[in-house]
């Protein structure tokens, strides 16, 4: 079994990853973790500097998540992509062909709790594989 998990470094994402690992670890799946950093909209040195800091933070978060998965005795492939998160996750899913794609639902307010985030909503509509949205 192959599972792809979208990880953004947030507390909700970390909690959802733990739930997903608990749900599927007995199947000894191959796990793909993906995080996406959006490219800067401008070409200024300030934007580039901010992008590099953000990318380093996301890379660190991704490595921590991969270490947690490995700590459960599972194999993991960590992917750091740059671009539009919706498109990059969809492309990675098409390339890796997971049996299931797992995402965390974002938002904490009343209105946000009634809708999916833009990335999870996009993936539910466009992914070729089943998508599991974990509420934490």
**Domain range holding 78?**
2-134
H or E stretch covering 111: none
Note the pLDDT tens digit of each residue in 54-108.
Answer: 899 999 999 999 999 999 999 999 999 999 999 999 999 999 999 999 998 864 4
Place of tokens 């996009």: 122
Q: Which residue has the tokens 């990880």?
A: 7
Cα 117 to Cα 24, 72, 107, 133: the distances in Å are 24, 28, 7, 10
- pLDDT tens track for 10-48: 899 999 999 999 999 999 999 999 999 987 766 666 677
Contact between 4 and 96 under an 8 Å Cβ cutoff? The reply is yes
CATH number of the domain within which 92 lies: 3.40.50.620
Give me the number of domains the chain comprises: 1
Secondary structure of residue 42 in the 3-state scheme = coil
pTM: 0.86
């Amino acid at each position: 079994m192959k599972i792809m998990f979208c990880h953004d470094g947030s507390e909700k994402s970390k909690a959802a990853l733990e739930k997903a690992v608990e749900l599927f670890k007995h199947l000894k799946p191959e796990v793909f973790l993906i995080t996406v950093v959006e490219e800067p909209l401008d070409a200024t040195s300030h934007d580039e500097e901010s992008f590099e800091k953000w990318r380093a933070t996301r890379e660190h978060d991704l490595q921590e998540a991969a270490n947690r998965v490995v700590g459960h005795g599972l194999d993991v492939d960590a992917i750091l992509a740059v671009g539009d998160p919706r498109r990059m996750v969809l492309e990675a899913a098409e390339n890796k062909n997971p049996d299931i794609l797992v995402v965390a639902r974002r938002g904490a307010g009343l209105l946000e709790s009634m809708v999916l985030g833009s990335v999870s909503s996009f993936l539910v509509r466009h992914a070729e594989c089943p998508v599991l949205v974990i509420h934490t």
